[in-house]
Structure formats: C-alpha cells, structure tokens
Structure 1
C-alpha cells in the first residue's frame, strides 16, 4: 500500500506527492532539521550557492545558457544570488568602515562623498540590482539578433552581477587593508578591469553561435549603450532632485 501524504492526505506514488508536491520523507523537527532548513532554504549551500559560484568562474556563459534553457535544479536563482551577496557585502563594507580617500575625489565635498558612499553601502544589494535592467537593455540592443528576449538578458546579467559580487569578496581583505589610501583606487581599478574581462568571457560563451570577434565587438557596444543609459538616468535623477530641493 502506498503511503499517504501528511499534507493533503492523497496517496503518494514516488518521492513526492503529485497533488501538493510535498516530499514523502518528513523528518522530525529537531536541530538536524533546523540546520538542513538553514542550508537549503536560506543559503542553499547543499547545491545552489557553491555550485553556482563554481560554474560562474569555470564555464559562466554555458551554465547561464543551460539555466535559461531549463537546467535549473542545481542553480541559485540570479535575483536571490545578487540580493544575498549584495546585502552581505554591504554589511561587511559598513562594519569595517571601508571608504575611498575623500581628498582624492574631485568635484565632491567630503560630506557629499560620504552621503553617496553611505547610501550605496546601506543599499548595496539594491544599488547592484538597479544596474541590471540598464545593462540588460544594453546587451539586448547589442545582441538583438541572437534571439534572446529582454527577460532572458535580465537573467544573464543577473548572474554576471553575482559573478562580480563574488569577485568583490575576494578583493575585500585588500580593500580593508588599504582603505582611505590611494592604493584602494588602484585595487578598485584592477577589480573593474577583471569584471570587464569576465563579462567578455561570459558573453562570448553564452552567445557561442557567433564568432569571438563579433562577440567582443558587441560586448564593447553593450558597455557603450550602458554608459549612455546610465548618463541619461543620472541627468534625469539629478534634475528631479534639484527641482524637489528648490520647491522645498
């Protein structure tokens, strides 16, 4: 006789209930259950996070394309990946008081740069997530003949954002050591260069039906489109804030 689902009381034939999806194996609520729930539900360490991190630095474009095509069980979802890593990185940045040397920032007072830095630190995950739509529109325009829709580009660039955040964790000890010195600007530049090279590699693997030369050109075009869109958005936000301040 087949077991009965403890959730909906339907007969089960297999490892999961065909009616509600609950597993046949319901473990007792104890510390082992709690630890497994934290691993699986919050960090998904048993498969998703570590597996996705490995894939993003060994075969990024291929693994992202496989995710879009339906191979998703082992992957951590891109939005959750960015939000989790971005939130944790923002906490680290705030806790260790990482700051750029304000006397080297041209055109901004120390107070203004602190305000901007504090906002980004407090909302690092949100700030990272907000760049994804702009980059996705840019890559969609640059690679528009490859057949992928805008939402699929959002997934692609979401994973790339997660890839960049993982790289930031690798650089974090050096940022802490050289915080408030000129060296931190050099480290930021090196990190940005590696980000761009990783993006070239990822796009080239993802759009593997095109030549490498064409993918390099279209990746450059993606970043040109992105900076244009970012500049337009910055002007709009600045103008809106100025009008708001004047009315206030």
Structure 2
C-alpha cells in the first residue's frame, strides 16, 4: 500500500519534484523578509548586539543560520568583485618563489566564505580573551562573528558595485567602514554602555585579522621549505 504521507512524521512520503515552482519557493524561503536574509540584514543593521544575543540565548528562528549567512554574503561579494574585477587593482599575488604562499592567498581570495570562518576563529580567540568575564564560550563568539563578518562582506559588496559603476577606488574607505561597523556591533553585543567594550572589540578584531594573515603566510612558507627538501 502506497501512502501519501509518512505514518511516523506526517511528511510527504515522496519528495516534491524539482521544477521551476520548487526553485522559486526555495528562493522565497531564503529571501523572506520576516525570517530570511533581508530581515536578518535589517536587524543586524539596526540592533546587531541585541539580535545576536537573542539568537544565542533565546530565539534562533528569527535570523538566518549564521554559517549560511556568512557563506551567502561572502559569495555575493565574490561574484560582484569578480564581475567588476575590483580586487585586481588592490591585491597583487607576487611573493617571489614562495609558491605555497601564493596558492594559499589565491585560495583565500577564491573562497571568502570558508576563509572568513577561519578568520573568525582567530578573532574569536582574542575576543574570548578580552571578554572572558561575560561568560560566552568560544563557539558562541564564533556565531557572533559569522553575523558580523557576513555584514562586513555585504558592505564591501555595496562599495564594489559603486566602484565598478563610477570607477572611483573605494576599497580603503569600505574596509575602514567595515572595521567601524564590526567594532560597534561586537561592542554592542558584549556591553554597549561601556566605551571600553568598543576599544577591546576593535583591538580584538585587528589582532584576529593580523594573526590570521600571519598564520596563512607562515603556513605557506613552511610548505615551501618542506617542498624544497623533497
């Protein structure tokens, strides 16, 4: 006997056929303003600290999942950056004979979603160190950074579009604004009433970014040294 619905969970026994209607439904689900990426962007723009605290401690249904958010926003920036060829005027992958360093930097440039998560690990380490008294564990801070870095990628994407259309170099300005937003959002998350929260947020973000870059370079140099001996 073929049943239309599963007797255990109540779901359709046979998955819906993938067609144009199915694809449109999936796109609507991601972009839905009430509980989708547009709503998440709005809330992270207005009240980032409060909304991320609520996501971690109370309601995880209002915002887009953080890993999905950072990957989607990083993909958006990558597509726009490649379309307008924005980074070619800023990033020069030339490290002499350090081929592994070039390869790692190229991988970072081509995989911003995963690279941003890895960078978030380094920033989370410093935030955990500076804000230890607040009681958030490493992984909760990493979730915070997925949202914050994701918003940073969207900001870069907007400036990339403007730069591509107008032709004025805006990358330095956009990076500065990303640091300002990140400092503000992280400070709001921990304790927006205290100026020291923003100072520690800025220092942690800078140290995390620098330590990520240094670690990537050291890894590349070590790989090149090992390959020279074989």
Partner in structure 2 of residue 88 of structure 1? 76
Deviation (angstroms), 1:239: 2.8
3-state SS of 1:207 partner: helix
Which runs of structure 2 are paired with 1:167-182 in the superposition (5 Å)?
A: 167-177=155-165
Q: Supply the RMSD in Å over aligned alpha carbons.
A: 3.4
CA distance in 2, matches of 1:204, 1:63: 13
CA distance in 2, matches of 1:125, 1:213: 31
CA distance in 2, matches of 1:28, 1:227: 45
Contact 1:49–1:76 (8 Å) recurs in 2: yes
CA distance in 2, matches of 1:235, 1:124: 17
CA distance in 2, matches of 1:93, 1:50: 21
Q: Select which of 176, 183, 189 maps to 1:200.
A: 183
CA distance in 2, matches of 1:198, 1:65: 17
Contact 1:91–1:121 (8 Å) recurs in 2: no
Deviation (angstroms), 1:188: 1.7
Deviations 1:210-229 (A, max 9, x none): 74222023213313542553
Deviation (angstroms), 1:58: 0.7
Which runs of structure 2 are paired with 1:121-140 in the superposition (5 Å)?
A: 121-140=109-128
How many residue pairs match? The answer is 222
3-state SS of 2:87 partner: coil
Q: 2:127 matched to 1:144? A: no
Q: Select which of 223, 240, 246 maps to 2:205.
A: 223
Which runs of structure 2 are paired with 1:147-162 in the superposition (5 Å)?
A: 147-162=135-150
Give the unaligned 5+ runs of structure 2: none
Contact 1:99–1:117 (8 Å) recurs in 2: no
CA distance in 1, matches of 2:22, 2:220: 50
Q: Select which of 15, 19, 28 maps to 1:39.
A: 28
Q: 2:51 matched to 1:63? A: yes
Which structure would you say has the larger RCO, counting Cα contacts within 8 Å and 6 or more residues apart? Answer: 2
Contact 2:120–2:142 (8 Å) recurs in 1: yes
CA distance in 2, matches of 1:228, 1:76: 28
Contact 1:52–1:76 (8 Å) recurs in 2: yes
TM-score (norm 2): 0.79
Q: Select which of 79, 102, 111 maps to 2:67.
A: 79
3-state SS of 1:39 partner: helix
TM-score (norm 1): 0.74
Higher CA-based Rg: 1
Partner in structure 2 of residue 14 of structure 1? none
